Structures are given as C-alpha cells and as structure tokens.
Structure 1
C-alpha cells in the first residue's frame, strides 16, 4: 500500500488515547469527513528528501550541536529534526511542521525542528536555550489555526515548541464557581468530555468554536469566538501563567497573590491589567489559563430563518442590532450566504458547475431549492435559552421582527433530517463540539482555505458595503464567495472563507491576490481585520497606522524590552524584534512568494 493510501485509511485518533483526538461520539462523523477529504485529494504525496531548514543567523553545524544540547535537557525523544517529507494530513491528523493549507510554497513557512516540553520548567529551559544560541522559537498549542497559518512558524527555520503533546492536563474544574484551569493541549473536545466524565455536563457548558479540535488556550489568546452567550472567549478567560521571552515566569491578575483563591473568578488583580499583551502577540508563552464556564440555562431552542434576497441583508442587520444589544438575540449567531449553505454539504463544486468563473447564482439557487431548507439567499442560525415561558416570549419577539422582511421564513426543525447542517449549529450553540463545519473545504480539489475577517458595527450600510466589496473582488479573481456574518453584542465579524486548490499555483495566486485587495480596500473604508494569516500579518498590522504608526512603535518597544534577543515568534502579528527590522522580512505584495528577509543583526 502506498504512503498516501496508508494515510487515507489510517484510524482517526480518539480521546482519551490521543490528546488531539476526536470524542468517541463523533468518531463515525470524523471518519466520513476524512473520507470526503481524501476522495477529493489529487495533490501527490510529498516524497522529497530534505535537510532541515536552518534559521538565518546561525551556522548549520552550530544548529545541530544546539539541538543535541536541547535533547540532553529534554530527552532526545522530545526533540525532532524536521528532515522528512512534509505530510499534509487532515484536520484530525494535522502536521506541526508546516501549514497543511499553505497559500505559498510549503517550504516557505516551515519549521527546522519540533520540541515537546512537558512542564513549566521545560518551557523555561527551551526559552533559555533559544536565548543562548539566538535561535527563533515558535510556540503552538495544537497547531489547528487553519485558515490563518496552522502550525507554521512565521520565520522559516524556527524551532516549533509544541506545547500540546505533553502539556494537556485539565488542572481544575470548579463546579461552584463555573470555572476551569487548563494547559495548552486541552481541546474543546477534551474539556467537553471531561465535564461528561465528571457528571457535570448537565450542570455547566463549554463554549466551542465551529470545530472543537483546537486548543482552548490557543483559540482564546488568538481571540477566537464561539456561539453560546459566552462566545467572546478572551472576555471569558481569567488568569494566565506565562513564560516570558527571557525565561522568567509570571502569573497575571489575582495569580500574582500567593495563596489567592480568586484567580479564575476575578481577572484583574491590582495595578495595570497585563493580560492583553499576551493575546495575538509574541510577548510570552501562555502555559496555563483560567476560563469561565456557562451555567446550564434551564432549556434551549434552536431556530433558523431564511430570507429570499441579497437586498434583505441591510434591513436584516437593522433588525438584528437592537435585538442583539438587548440580548433578545442571546448568542453569537450567524447570518450565512446560500453559497456556503450549498458548500457545507460537502460535495465538490463540480457537482453543480464545471465552467469558468464563480458558480452562477441561478445554479446555486436551483441547488438550494432541492435541499430540506429550500431556496433562499440568507440564513440566520440562533438559539433561545431559558425555561419554556422565557424562550417563548423571546422567540415571539424575534419572529415578529424578522417577518418584517417580506418572504422571511422560519424553518421547522422537525422537517430537517439528522445530517442537516442546522443540527450542527444547534449542538454548537448548546456547548457540544462538532466536526461538521469544514465540509465546505471539499468544494475544491485538495481543498484549502484562507480567511478575510474584518470587523464592523452591526449596521445595514456596513454589511452591504462589505458584501459588495467582497463580491466585486471575488468576481475579479474568478472565486466563489462564501460570506458569513458573526454577530456580537455591538459589532460583527464578516468571515469570508476563500476556498482554493492548494495544488494549483494559479488558484493559490488568485486567492492571495484577492485577499490582499480585500484587506487594502476594506482598510480604506475603515474596516480592520481582527485576525489574519501569517502571510498577511505585516499588511494588516500596517493598516493600523493612526498617528504615524504609533501603536506598532509601542508594540516594538514592548518587544525589545521583553525579548531583547528577539527569539520568540519574530514577526507574529507584524511585530518584529530589533535584530530583524530593516532587513526586508516584512511580507508585502511586492515580496510575494518569499517569506524571508536578508539575515539578522549578529549583535
């Protein structure tokens, strides 16, 4: 059997046997998802024999000796040289060597080695080692940040510090305070299973993103979102333990008080609130984090509305805003376009259309008409919480408001089959993780995706402007347009997933050019990204340029103070240490295809 076939037929890892595994109740669904991914894979398996990429600023012989030294400290089995063919895998068996959904050549954002610390002290040892040898290190929790770079380091040849494999303990679940304390390798899947094992799943809920295999810490420090009323994950954390780039160890908030008993219940402590500098940054390695859990609200009821016309988007947002601010609409719900509704069924694009350019709207609507939901342009997925009489009151208000839009239709869940996407949204909105969402990646052969993620107020004119911008640029590059609005309390994220064939250089180039144009034009209109892919980090950071780039200058001063040797994740979120600045490391449209600069300052 070929290595490709072996990979396709290998068993899906499960919990508790693998920290990164799928819960047993999702195993059959995960196996079907894997089959769908490999059925559409034509990209040849990489068999290229390769030497490890050595980071700029260190000689190969010195690098090899340094790795040997680290192996003596951690154990040789916990230091792996990345000298084998790169394997893309899939969501549940993802690589920690590179980005499995790469938009550039896979050798651009690639690690030289991977190390697996097993304790706080070993993380400190790794950081001290990196300072001694001036070797860049790039920490990951799980490496499932798909669409934003996955496990890949920004600086080619960095040593990836994989925290998840050996630091994956749930250190505490407090049923009185509704809190938990976790290490980086704890996934949403694992936290959910732990609540079940303790008999607490009917007492308290987790908040999960669309797919539950990511790290609770990793998702939260990257300011990811979920879909219960606790959907703003960063707002729901309390207390960090952090290894600084110098190897020092700190606790934030109440954790700085010896013997405290409120670390997970009060996030601020005394003095400046420092937690924020450890989110979306390269200022420290978070190795413990507290998180709040949601009390069971005493009942829940999912609902779905469809709206027939693209022009319904603006009035719908004007209806949503006051309902969301007043918490009549309680969770971070979704307004999704019909094209994504068709794609999430997991069928390839060629099922519906094989011609040039985007799939015609008439074809999409004809396909939608054949689904249990029926034809529509926009779909709203939400959930009401609480006892029946409270849910009834809120749902009556929502129904009267949504039906102000002509043709609005409430979908009867009893008419929907068990595999309909509605039920995935239902599970996620009540804190049950799933693996359904990424089926839309099957839209393209060798499916990969990269995200455009601007933030705006919940206003009809903003939604319409962003939608028109996205549609125009997708048409320019011949790409299908998958917009979904994730509605927070007073803002909304537009998440546009650009799906492309990662084995097709032309499609990759079109996807990246489209994304660069989206970021540039959106910024001119006042819309900034809340999160982005490695290749876009310099461009996005550059859009936050008020007062001659004062914010980036401030971030650089913090970086130089906290990381004087510039070893921790250089370039992450556009923040470059002093020894890299002015040497062409920033990625722009003009430097496309090349992630490296011209050396580092030897001093």
Structure 2
C-alpha cells in the first residue's frame, strides 16, 4: 500500500504516544510495509457483543459503568461493545492484543478508562472493589509479543494510564535522574532531553523500539543496549496505588520531603519495589530512573561468524570479556536468518514453499546483503575517548578472530539505511523504529517470544539453541534466535513470527512455545518474561519446594488484594476468588476463561 493512501501517523506534538518528527519518514514507510502484508480489514465487528466479566450481570455492569462516568467524567470512560480495531505499532489498540495467539475476542477488555491523576486511579480502584469488577492497568499498551494491551481475564476494565498521565515530572541534570508518569515513552524522554539542551550531557537507554512506556518496560524488566541496559537495575523509587486504594512511595520516597528519592533506591526497612515488578500487587503511577552520562565517545562494531557450531566457543570468548566490561553493553548475537528477515521483505520473496526455509536458500540470499553470508552476527559498541576505545576494541578483535572464518564488517562500507546503523543509534541512547521490519516476514505479521535466561556459557547456549531448533523443525517454523548478553547472564530471545489470521499456524506456534518452555525447565532454564497466554505455565516451572514461591506470591496477593480485582492471572498470580476454577492455561484448553468466580469476600467497606 502506498504511504500516501494511509492516514498520517500521529507525532509527539499531537499525542503522547506519537512518533518524533525526525522518525516520521521511517514510520510512514514501516506502516506502508505492514499494511502491504495485511489480508483483512483492521476493523472487525464483535461477534460476542460486550465482553462482560464473569461474576456480574450486564445490567449491574452497565450501572457500575455509569457510576464511574459520573465519578471521573463520561469522556474518560469508553465501552468496548462494537468492534476491535487492530491498527499497527504507532496506532495500536488498547482493548486487546493486535497480534492475538487465540481468537481476538478471548483476551479483550469490556471498557477502557482514562484516569488523569493519582486520585482518579484511587477512585477507579475503589469502584472496582465495590462492584467486584476486574481491572487491568496498562501504561502505553505496546507490550507486543507478550500480549500487547490485552487483559488476562476477558471483560476486565482496562485502565489506560498513559493518555492523561504522561508527564516528565523531573529531569535532574546534576544527579542524572528523571521522574516519569506511565505515559512517557522512550521517544518522549529522549526528545525532552534534546529540547532542554541536555542531549549531549546525558543519555537514555532504549529498547529496540522507542514507543513503549519507560515505566511499563521497566516494570516488566525489559532491557536496552547501553551499559544501563538493565532497566530495573537503574530505576529508583516508585509511587504505587495499592489494590484497596492506598498510595505508597517506596525507598527514600517513604520519607516526607525526601530529596534523595531518585538517588538511592532502598531507603530503610524491607525493599518492597520488587513486588510491584511483573506482578498484580499495585498500580505504579510514578517511577524514578537513572540517566547515563555521555561517555565521551562511542563506536559500534559488527562481526560475523560462519558456522552455527561457532556458538559455543564464541560464548566462551564473550563471557570473560563481558564480565570484565571489555564488551560493555547489552549486545546482541543474532542468527543469520534474522539478518535476512530484518531486511523487511516477506518470506515469500525468497521461498514460497511450506515448512522451514531451507538453510541453503537463506544463506544464498545473505550473500547478496552488505553483511554477507553468515550463521551469526554480533552487534556491539565501545564507549569512551578514542584511545580507550581502541584499547578495548583491539582486545575484542584479537579474541573474536580466534574463531575460524570470523569477519569484521567495516562500517564505512555500509549505507545509511543498513540495519547496523539502527543498532548504532540504539546503543548510543537514540530510540529508533527499525525493529518492526522482521514482522513483515509473514502476512498479517504477529510475533511471540521464547525468552529463557542462562549463564553465559557455551554449553548453555548450545542446549537452548538445540532445543529451539528441534521444536521449530517439528512445527515447521523458521528459527530466528538472538542472544542478548548481560553481565553474568544472557537472555535468548526466539521470536516466532506468524500469520495472525492463520489458526493452524497459531496453534503450531503455541505448541512450539509450550514445548520449549517445558524442555528448558527440565534443563534448569526459566523464562524471564512471557506472553499472557503462557504465564500460568511459566509460573508453574518455578516449582522448587512444592511451589513455595507461588504460595508466597498468593499470600501477598490475598493480603494486598483480598477482593481479587487487580489484573487477576497476571504472571500466573490468581486471587482466591479465581483459584481452582479452571482459569489457569497450561496448553490444550478449549477456552481461556474459567468456570466463574468465587463469592464476594466478607464485608463491604473498602
């Protein structure tokens, strides 16, 4: 579809979730490519009507919605009773997942509400307690590959925090910290630093795509690619609305008049921040974050390796260099097929057959790219003045060349549009939009990720790659793994790209993922993050001592959220009203809902 026939993508000047003007040309091109691969309309009428949550009648639900409209303004409450509109990354839905693994009406909201203040969040929470209506908070809703904006319980009321709570509350140029609300994206934070003339002094750390919420990504323990890539590790201080409506501030924020809230995360007493990460124990309305000082220079580099069998020896080289900070950033080692897919063309351009694309075909196609033929490509960056960078890069070069066939790609030979330069921008704190391109691999491109964590060891990399390779071969799905190397661990991110309109392909993708999760768990590897539909299974793999961890999580849930209204089922944590009623998904279920909810807990006062 020609870019001129599509509505213009909103920019940051018009909407909090918009694209920076500097990236509008990329967004226009990316959007056209996405719509070229769509075979169905974005707008789909709801077949099942208004998705009322279990445990309440339609009449009582609509009466409760009217009450909420009176409390926070009718314009801030929207029913979802007509259609779903899928859109794309920059104009995404906030009622469901635009890349659904199941039918789009399974994980779907009944309504969306837009609070404009902490006080309005409290009003919504107390309203939900009064009527026993499940609520599901989102910051921006771009958690693509992990469920997007969809609530785990069908018919939940989505709290879209981002639309009206999107302020950058503070940027401290002396302490290199910031304080943000949920609706602040990586794009917005970066642009604000430039606007204030601080862009040359301090950097943000951004994930592959910059349109996500800084707060939301951090709470889900997402990563970026500078030395500050572990976002959770560099946050400091949360403000949280608890499930009964109380507000707390963690760390030094618990001190009235604190002046060190963003400087020191721990405060005094138990460190409680962790229970609000990947959980359903509270709604975070403010978060502090450290910003990275400009290191005084940077230089990206890229190496290719010819054989899949190079993976293990390469990891043995990477580990000591990474721990010693010779390799400084959260770098990526990607498979060659992902290098091809990031070109942005549909798979059918190269191969029209069924099942996996033969290696001989994609290796031949790689020869035509600027990167050349390879099994693995390593993207990294060195920081600091030129002489410091040279010292470190010489060490890296000597070590990497111990792998026969290793080749360093001269960046001077790469045109401006080459993907290498996107990694260069991201690793130097500049958000980009290139990562969307590999989703075009399939028509109606959706994706879902297998994301285990392991030590940085050759044997671990081989085991995880081997199990992924076996399960992908069984499913007939193209394998595109990437190893993201942290300081003493690595995440393997295996993205399965599927046609969101192909039910058979989605079933194969789900089975492949579930098999890999179980395979990895048997070998001692656990997921660090997962899709909404897989959370019960992943939570179940953390089963040491007869599931002691989940028992502890349930104890916290019942104490903090006795009526079970806040994001039930998120990360496998179910309130008492839902437990043992068939809500958990472990694979093979015919429907995503359980058989009702338990009776109202005693007492009416909240």
| Category of TM-score, reference length = shorter chain | over 0.9
Report the alpha carbon displacement of residue 46 of structure 1 after superposing the two structures with TM.
Answer: 3.9
Match of 2:198 among 177, 197, 200: 200
**Structure 1 residue 288 corresponds to structure 2 residue 286:** yes
- Most deviating of 410-419 and 40-49: 40-49
CA distance in 2, matches of 1:503, 1:291: 39
* Residues 226/8 of structure 1: CA separation in 2 closer, same or farther (3 Å cut): farther
Report the alpha carbon displacement of residue 590 of structure 1 after superposing the two structures with TM.
Answer: 3.2
- Structure 1 counterpart of 2:188: 190
Report the alpha carbon displacement of residue 318 of structure 1 after superposing the two structures with TM.
Answer: 0.2
- Structure 1 counterpart of 2:36: 39
CA distance in 2, matches of 1:7, 1:137: 39
Count residues with an aligned counterpart. Answer: 599
- Structure 2 counterpart of 1:600: 597
CA distance in 2, matches of 1:502, 1:8: 23
Cα deviation digits, residues 266-315 of structure 1 (max 9, x gap): 00000000000000000000000000000000000000000010010000
CA distance in 1, matches of 2:561, 2:165: 24
Cα deviation digits, residues 528-575 of structure 1 (max 9, x gap): 000000100000000000000000000000000000000000000000
Match of 2:6 among 9, 17, 20: 9
Mapping 1:37-186, distance limit 5 Å: 37-49=34-46, 51-186=49-184
CA distance in 1, matches of 2:193, 2:216: 20
Contact 2:52/2:61 (CA < 8 Å) preserved in 1?
Answer: yes
Report the alpha carbon displacement of residue 189 of structure 1 after superposing the two structures with TM.
Answer: 0.2
CA distance in 1, matches of 2:44, 2:461: 46
CA distance in 1, matches of 2:540, 2:439: 30
- Structure 1 counterpart of 2:603: none
Cα deviation digits, residues 65-96 of structure 1 (max 9, x gap): 00000000110000000012111100000000
- Structure 1 counterpart of 2:526: 528
Q: What secondary structure, in the 3-state scheme, does the structure 1 residue paired with 2:29 have? A: helix
**Structure 1 residue 407 corresponds to structure 2 residue 405:** yes
- Structure 2 counterpart of 1:28: 25
Match of 1:435 among 433, 436, 455: 433
Contact 1:212/1:433 (CA < 8 Å) preserved in 2?
Answer: yes
- Structure 2 counterpart of 1:588: 586
CA distance in 1, matches of 2:288, 2:107: 31
Report the alpha carbon displacement of residue 5 of structure 1 after superposing the two structures with TM.
Answer: 10
- Structure 2 counterpart of 1:552: 550
CA distance in 1, matches of 2:252, 2:583: 38
CA distance in 1, matches of 2:280, 2:568: 7
Q: What secondary structure, in the 3-state scheme, does the structure 2 residue paired with 1:86 have? A: strand
CA distance in 2, matches of 1:297, 1:352: 42
Structure 2 segments unaligned to the other structure (5+ residues): 601-606
Q: What secondary structure, in the 3-state scheme, does the structure 1 residue paired with 2:84 have? A: coil
Match of 1:368 among 366, 369, 377: 366
CA distance in 2, matches of 1:131, 1:502: 35
**Structure 1 residue 237 corresponds to structure 2 residue 235:** yes
* Residues 6/379 of structure 1: CA separation in 2 closer, same or farther (3 Å cut): closer
* Residues 8/532 of structure 1: CA separation in 2 closer, same or farther (3 Å cut): farther
Mapping 1:309-458, distance limit 5 Å: 309-458=307-456
CA distance in 1, matches of 2:471, 2:370: 31
Q: What secondary structure, in the 3-state scheme, does the structure 2 residue paired with 1:289 have? A: strand
* Residues 447/166 of structure 1: CA separation in 2 closer, same or farther (3 Å cut): same
Q: What secondary structure, in the 3-state scheme, does the structure 1 residue paired with 2:392 have? A: helix
Report the alpha carbon displacement of residue 6 of structure 1 after superposing the two structures with TM.
Answer: 11
CA distance in 2, matches of 1:353, 1:26: 31
**Structure 1 residue 572 corresponds to structure 2 residue 573:** no
CA distance in 2, matches of 1:154, 1:254: 33
- Structure 1 counterpart of 2:604: none
Contact 1:381/1:425 (CA < 8 Å) preserved in 2?
Answer: yes
CA distance in 1, matches of 2:46, 2:409: 54
- Structure 2 counterpart of 1:501: 499
CA distance in 2, matches of 1:100, 1:566: 27
Contact 2:96/2:108 (CA < 8 Å) preserved in 1?
Answer: yes
